[in-house]
Amino acid sequence: MSMAATIEAKLRAALAPARLVVEDQSEMHAGHAGAREGGESHFAVVVEAEAFEGMNRLARQRLVNETLKEELAGSIHALSIRALTPSEAQNKA
């Protein structure tokens, strides 16, 4: 299973998001620190989930990081997180 698929599966299981986008941005970091041959080291995620209701930005980031702690300790070098509730996402649309 690709790292993007692993990230998606774990976030779906933990957060039941209304919307989830996982983007492998590794090619943009080729030659930089932490970049691996074959990519799958730099990701950006957008997660819209009711689970974030009542949480501040830091708590949301921590929840996503905790969900992906094994991957972050291993092959993921960088993870950009945009975590919103569905109502926040709707208001920004």
| pTM to 2 decimal places | 0.86
Compute the residue count for the chain: 93
Task: Give the span between the Cα atoms of 31 and 11, in whole angstroms.
Answer: 29
* Tens of pLDDT, residues 2-42: 999 999 999 999 999 999 999 998 876 555 665 556 567 88
In order of their start, the domains of the chain are 3-92 (3.30.300.90)
Q: Which two tokens stand for residue 53?
A: 């209701």
Task: Give the span between the Cα atoms of 21 and 43, in whole angstroms.
Answer: 10
Counting Cβ atoms within 10 Å, is residue 74 exposed (0-12), middle (13-18) or buried (19+)?
exposed
